[in-house]
Structure 1
Amino acid sequence: MKKKICLMGGLVGLSNSYIKDCYAMVKLSGGQSSGGFIGCNYGEIYNSWCQTDSKRGKIMAGFAAKNEGIMEHIFYIDDRKKKKKEFADSELALDSESIQNLPWDYERTWNRDEVPRRFKEDAFHIESGAADEWIEIDSIEGFTAFADGVNRGNRQYQYAACRLTADLDFQGKKLIPIGEDDALPFKGIFDGGNHSITNFKIKGKRKYGGLFGCLKDAKIVNLTVDGMIQGAEYSGGIAGMMEGGIISCCGSAIRIEAKKYAGGLVGKNRDGILIKNYAVGLIHEHKRPWFLLLFLIPLLLLLLKLG
């Protein structure tokens, strides 16, 4: 039987690339490896922190459950009320005095007077860059049409420069991820314009779950999301899978039922760049409901009786 993998991280499940100036405040429950910031790091992480309430994981860590890369100027806050099991990376927990001495960028990114550090409001924005033509989205209907265009393989949408011009509230309705298939990922620019996409649900068995299912060399900036994801192997508030490209000045308030790779912002990051992002919420491992076995017991007894 193939061994089950479930990697969970407050910001990213697994990354082999570059992360800087990010933070996560996500509760984690279960998983093969769970870290308050990242499940497994094979890349580089700088100037980042997390506050975690991880529990019931096989490998539980305050910041990174597994690290085979570089991590500098990072810390975590252990916020568990009951500390029955010590975190695997307990040496990375810092007190407020130690945090003050970390050489972070207080001129352009972080507030010096806050512990833990938070972004300066006027710094949480990045220019998306120039484009010959912009697709502007100001409604759920417009968003759905755009997602459908990408998922049908229409190159006009797949490589588009898109700008969100209004907040979108899905009011609990289902959302189909943009680039739901890795054969048809989103490869363009999506500038949230400091707007938000909220109250969406992504449910059902699928490979990629997130506002964007799969990104490839895309640029996602100035966007916040708030939603719920169930049933996806790769899950993240902004993207289930990221290959190359950049995500910057984005935030995610997410509730995820994790199956394979799950992160508050990105499920799996391969060669992508994450700068000035945050994630808050809850991630818990997908479990088959044990109480269903109660209904099978009488049937098994009957079969045994019948020979």
Structure 2
Amino acid sequence: MNTKSKQMPSRFAGYNSGIIADCHAFVSCKKKSATFCNENKGTLERSFPIDHPCPKQDYILSPSQPEDPVLSIHTKEDLLLLREKVNAGDNTYQNGTFLLMEDIDLSGISWIPIGASEGTPFQGTFLGNGHAIHNLSVQQKEPVAAGLFGYISHAAITNLVLSGHVKGKMEAGLLTGVANESTITNCYVTGSVFGRQATGMFAGYNTGEIRNCYAEGKLLAKTRMLPVVLSSAASLLVIGTIAILFHHKKLNTPDYFPPIPVDTSVTRIDHKKSKTGKNSISCDFATELVSNKNGMTRIDFRNPGESNHHAVIQLQIPDSELNARLGKTGRTKKEQSKLDHLKAYNPDTYRVIVAESGSIPPGFSLPSIPLKKLPDGTELPKGTYHAIVYLSFYNIATNSEAMVHTQSPVTLVIR
């Protein structure tokens, strides 16, 4: 599905289930963006956008120095050593304490993140000591997290100034792509971030704490957030307030996105008016999807008229299921080779899209959805498959993608 006009990049974290407190952002973004996080499951406190830059001294405090750091970092070679040891899985460096003693310039270095994979995250303490790392340049071509750090877990980063540019295919942030149960305090980042999934100036994905921090720069994004709402039932009712918590008129962000074309197979089921005020999303569909010899798969999806969101359906099959049935995932050799070299690759969580609808407006149903060939051109043979129905929702007034998605297990029967 083409979602490149629907991504909502975010000034601190693309996805947040932790704490963002006492933070400020002076960040421009050409696309519609959430002030601090696109998808918030956590806490936002005393944090808001500002219309002028702040001096970094307002956000950098004098830290207490550790008595015995694993490594005092004076040069870029020291920083490269830290990266090498962490990415190699050296437990001492993964869990150590590091003290930045001088400003470091990374000009001319194509940076590979510290903690480059989920299997080798940085789990220690990094004390910036009020110093800066300048001219970070990350051009992450692999589908892994991008930033000065890729993955941090139960780590602490404090009193650091960071400037540079980050481009990633997955979670992307100047400081870190993924911050799992970590603390980031008294830090200042400036530059630009381009991401294709969860995108933020500090972290693409945050489940920890970001406090007393400041971000300044530009955000770009190409695709939507990862799904974070799970459903084990085929019937879904989600009613709630989906809103940007803060808005600043000087950001000059658009309030309308090009619509996804309405599916040509939809039929009218009712003429109820969409609800106004609180957002209302409701739908139901079959739990067993049966595909005939022409590849048309019966789904009986219904989007009631009182809903105020369009719906788009994807039918996905996990790589592990395709491997069990076909002896391969059906991806192209090039794509599969890249995934096989990733420590983070899990065939149970990576999926292949085998069907996709157009937009289904409120008050319409979609009886069937056509199956398509796998990326390598393989047609799915007859049989029964464990699959996932993944639903995206779009506001009927602005066509912006909702922060609520859902996925539900179904049985796919090909006859």
Q: TM-score range by the shorter chain?
A: 0.5 to 0.7
The structure with the greater share of residues assigned to strand is: 1
Superposed counterparts of 1:210-225, under 5 Å: 210-225=147-162
The whole-number CA distance in structure 2 between the counterparts of 1:14 and 1:179 is 19
The SS at the match of 2:86 is helix
Partner of 1:141: 77
> Which of structures 1 and 2 has the bigger CA Rg?
2
Residues matched between the structures, number:
221
Of 185, 194, 198, the residue aligned with 2:130 is 194
The whole-number CA distance in structure 2 between the counterparts of 1:266 and 1:118 is 20
The whole-number CA distance in structure 1 between the counterparts of 2:162 and 2:184 is 13
Give the partner amino acid of 1:11: F
Q: CA deviation at 1:144?
A: 0.6
Q: CA deviation at 1:126?
A: 6.0
Deviation per residue, 1:156-213 (Å, 9 max, x gap): 1101100110101112421111001011100000001111111121113231111110
CA contact (8 A) 1:17 1:273 kept: yes
The SS at the match of 1:145 is helix
Partner of 1:256: 193
Q: Which has the higher contact order (CA 8 A, sep 6+)?
A: 1
After superposition, the Cα gap between the structure-2 partners of 1:44 and 1:128, relative to the gap in structure 1 and judged at 3 Å, is farther
The whole-number CA distance in structure 2 between the counterparts of 1:138 and 1:281 is 27
Give the partner amino acid of 2:11: G
CA contact (8 A) 1:126 1:248 kept: no
After superposition, the Cα gap between the structure-2 partners of 1:280 and 1:119, relative to the gap in structure 1 and judged at 3 Å, is closer
The whole-number CA distance in structure 2 between the counterparts of 1:167 and 1:120 is 14
Q: CA deviation at 1:232?
A: 3.1
Q: CA deviation at 1:6?
A: 3.6
Partner of 1:159: 95
Superposed counterparts of 1:58-73, under 5 Å: none
Partner of 1:292: none
After superposition, the Cα gap between the structure-2 partners of 1:162 and 1:239, relative to the gap in structure 1 and judged at 3 Å, is same
Query: Given the two structures, how large is their TM-score scaled by the length of structure 2?
Result: 0.50
The structure with the greater share of residues assigned to helix is: 1
Stretches of structure 1 lacking an aligned partner (at least 5 in a row): 52-76, 78-115, 288-307
Superposed counterparts of 1:81-92, under 5 Å: none
After superposition, the Cα gap between the structure-2 partners of 1:217 and 1:21, relative to the gap in structure 1 and judged at 3 Å, is same
Of 147, 154, 163, the residue aligned with 1:226 is 163
Partner of 1:182: 118
The whole-number CA distance in structure 2 between the counterparts of 1:261 and 1:234 is 5
Deviation per residue, 1:128-163 (Å, 9 max, x gap): 674644311111111111101000001111011001
Partner of 2:42: 43
Deviation per residue, 1:280-305 (Å, 9 max, x gap): 11111248xxxxxxxxxxxxxxxxxx
The whole-number CA distance in structure 1 between the counterparts of 2:113 and 2:149 is 5
Superposed counterparts of 1:13-32, under 5 Å: 13-30=14-31
Partner of 2:204: 267
The whole-number CA distance in structure 1 between the counterparts of 2:78 and 2:203 is 24
The whole-number CA distance in structure 1 between the counterparts of 2:38 and 2:108 is 29
Stretches of structure 2 lacking an aligned partner (at least 5 in a row): 224-415
CA contact (8 A) 1:128 1:221 kept: no
Deviation per residue, 1:243-291 (Å, 9 max, x gap): 0120000111121112001111111101x0111111111111248xxxx
The whole-number CA distance in structure 1 between the counterparts of 2:63 and 2:72 is 16
Root mean square deviation of aligned Cα: 2.4
The whole-number CA distance in structure 1 between the counterparts of 2:169 and 2:65 is 32
